[in-house]
Amino acid sequence: MPSPYRAIFAAPGTKGFAAAGFIGRLPLSMTGIGVVTMISAITGRYGLAGAISATIALSAAVVGPQISRMVDRHGQSRVLRPATVVSLLALAGLLVSAHQRWPDWTLFVFSAGAGCVPSIGSMVRARWAAIYSGSPRDLHTAYAAESVIDEVVFILGPILSVGLSSSWFPEAGPLLAACFLAVGVFWLTAQRATEPRPHPRTDHSGGSALASRGLQVLVAVFVATGALFGAIEVVTVAFAEDQGHKSAASLPLAVYALGSGIAGLVFGLLHLKGDAARRWVVGVCAMAVSMIPLQLVGNLPVLAVALFVAGLAIAPTMVTTMALVEQHVPRAKLTEGMTWTSTGLAVGVALGSSAAGWVVDGFGARAGYAVPGAAGLLAAVGAFLGYRRLRPAPERVGVRADAGDDEQQLIS
C-alpha cells in the first residue's frame, strides 16, 4: 500500500471502522441489482423489477437524511441500530412476499420499509473527518481510500448478488445483503472510541444542511448521476440476458467499478491545488461523455471495455464532491450534508432504474443504454449551470467558523 494510505490507517481504530464500513456498505451494491434479478427471475417483468428497486432507493433517499440528522444530534450508536432493525424486517417481508407470489402492492410496501437504511458511507467519512479535521492532505487521502472501498464494494457486491440469485435461488442475493447490513452496522456502532461527537439541537442553527446553495447544486446534479448509475445496472442485466449470459451481468459491472477504483487509488496520491469546483465540473462532464460508447456496444466483452473506461471518471469526481460538501456545510451538519449527496444519487437511481426497466421492456436491452446517455447529459448541463454556486464567496476564502486554515486548504 502506498505510504499516504498506510499513514492514515496508523491512527487507532481506523482499520476497525473501515472494515465495518466495508461490510455495511456491501448491501448498497447488492440490494438493488439483487432485487432486479430476483423479481425478474420470479415474474419475468423488468418493469416491475426496476420499479421495486426504485422504491427502495427512493425510500432511502427520503429517510436517509433524517437518520443522518439524528446521528449528528444524538450520535451513531443511538440511532443506527434501531433504523437498521426496521430495514431488515422490511427486507425480510419483501423476500417472503416475492417468494410466495403475493400481490404486487405488498412488494412495494415492504420495499418502502427496506429503504430505512443508514448511509454507512457517510458515517465512516464522518469518522475520518473527526480524526483528520486538522490535516487536509490526510483527509483527502482518507476520502480517496473510501472511494476505492466503495468501488471494491461495487465489484464484489453484484458478483455475489447476481451469482447467488442466478445459480442458487432468486432470493439469495438480497438475503446475503441483509446479513452484511446487520453485521456491518452493529460492528461499526460497537466502536465508540472513533464515533464523532454528537452536536445537540442547540448547535444546529439555520435548519437543514440542504439550505446551502452549493449543496443544492451537488444534490441536483447527483440526481442525474444516480439515474446514470441505476440505468446502467438494470440495462446491463437485461443486455446480458439478451446475449444469453444473464449470470455474467455482474462481470461488466465489476469492470465498471474496477476502472473507478483504479482512478480513485491514483487520485488519492495526488495533492491538487486550485479550484475544486472546476475539477468537479470536468469530472461530471467526463462521466457524460463516457456514456457515448455504450450506445454502440454489441456484445459483453466490448461492453466491459466501455464500462471500464467510463468508470475512470467516477471516483475522482466523488472525492472532489466530499471536499465541496466540507466547503459548503458546517461541521455540526457534516453527516447530514454527506447523506444528502447520497440521497441525490438514490433518487436518481430510483428514476434511472425505473425508466431503464420500462425502456428495456418496450424497446429492448440495447435501446436501454439511451437512458444513462440522457442522464449524463443532464448531469453535465446541471454542473455547468450550478458552477458559480460552488465557488466560495470571497469572504469565506481561507475562513471557516468551525474549521482551521489547514482544512480550508483541502477544499480550495
Task: Check if the beta carbon of residue 370 is closer than 8 Å to that of residue 241.
Answer: no
**How far from 276 is each of 47, 267, 319, 324, 409, CA to CA, in Å?**
39, 13, 10, 7, 11
The percent of residues above 70 in pLDDT, for the chain, comes to 92
Query: Any alpha helices (H) in 44-75, and if so which ranges?
Result: 46-74
Grid-cell match 444513462, residue found:
372
pTM to 2 decimals? 0.73
Task: Check if the beta carbon of residue 333 is closer than 8 Å to that of residue 72.
Answer: yes
* pLDDT higher than threshold 80 for residue 327: no
- Tell me phi and psi for residue 251, to 5 degrees: -70, -50
* pLDDT higher than threshold 90 for residue 202: no
**How far from 250 is each of 226, 288, 298, 379, 388, CA to CA, in Å?**
18, 22, 17, 25, 39
Whole-angstrom distance, CA of residue 55 vs CA of residue 58? 5
Whole-angstrom distance, CA of residue 326 vs CA of residue 323? 5
CATH superfamily of 13-194+210-411: MFS general substrate transporter like domains (1.20.1250.20)
Mean pLDDT of 21-32: 88
pLDDT digits (tens, 9 = 90+) for 121-177: 889 988 988 898 778 788 878 888 888 888 788 778 877 887 888 788 888 889 999
Mean pLDDT of 196-210: 66
**How far from 230 is each of 46, 88, 222, 346, 376, CA to CA, in Å?**
13, 22, 12, 9, 12
Q: pLDDT higher for 377 or 274? A: 377
pLDDT digits (tens, 9 = 90+) for 288-299: 999 999 988 888
Q: What is the DSSP string of 335-402?
A: HHHHHHHHHHHHHHHHHHHHHHHHHHHHH-TGGGGHHHHHHHHHHHHHHHHHHHHHSPPGGGTT-BTT
Ordered by start, the domain boundaries in the chain are 13-194+210-411
